[in-house]
Amino acid sequence: MTPERLWMWAIALRRRDHRWLAKRVKQLNSFLYHNSLAAGGDISPDVYLGHHGLGTVVHDNVTIGRRVRIWQNVTLSVRAPAGSPHRIIIEDDVMIGANAVVITPFEQSLRIGRGASVGAGAVVTHDVPAGATVVGSPARVVRQKAL
C-alpha cells in the first residue's frame, strides 16, 4: 500500500463521515511513512509523493490538481483553521522539490499556477505564476516559460 493510496482512502472515509476510521488510516500512513497528510484535503488520484512522502506535511485546506509531484519533507501549510475558506491551491502539472515550504500569509489563500516548479528548499509565501520556476528563501521567480 502506497502513502498516496492510504491518503486517498482516509479522504474518502472522511467524506463518508467515517471520521474515526479516517483518522486511524491517517495514523497508519503517518506511522509507516513518517508523514502527516490531512484527510480533509482535496487531491487528484494521480498525485505522486517522491520517496514515499517521507516527512511531508499537508494541511486540511489544500487542493492538489492532476499530475502533481511532491518530494520528501515538503510542508504545505495554511495559516487559518481547517475548514476556513483560505486555501493553498496547487494547479495541474506542478512539481514541488524536497524540503520546500509553502505557507500562506495569515488568513489568506495562495495559488501555485499550472506547470510551475518550486525548487528544493524554497519558501513560498505568495502566489506562483503558471509556468514559473521559483527558488530561494523567500522564493523568487528565476524562470518563466510560456504556456
Q: What percent of the chain has pLDDT over 90?
A: 86
Please tell me whether residue 146 adopts helix, strand or coil conformation: coil
Three cell numbers written together for 65: 490538481
Confidence (pLDDT) at 103 = 96
Can you give the pTM of this predicted structure?
A: 0.91
Secondary structure, 3-state, 20-43: HHHHHHHHHHHHHHCCEECCCCEE
DSSP 78: -
Confidence (pLDDT) at 83 = 84
- Residues 52-64: tens digit of each pLDDT: 889 999 999 999 9
- Residues 68-113: tens digit of each pLDDT: 999 999 999 999 988 899 999 999 999 999 999 999 999 999 999 9
Tell me the C-alpha distance between 107 and 70, whole Å. 24
Confidence (pLDDT) at 82 = 85
Is the confidence at residue 119, as pLDDT, over 80?
yes
Is the confidence at residue 25, as pLDDT, over 80?
yes
Average pLDDT over the chain reads 94
How far separated are the first and last CA of the chain, in Å rounded?
35
Report whether 25 contacts 12 (CB < 8 A). Answer: no
Is the confidence at residue 147, as pLDDT, over 70?
no
Confidence (pLDDT) at 122 = 97
Confidence (pLDDT) at 53 = 85
Domains parsed from the chain with CATH numbers = 38-144 (2.160.10.10)
Q: With cut-offs at 50, 70 and 90, classify the pLDDT of residue 121.
A: very high
Confidence (pLDDT) at 1 = 81
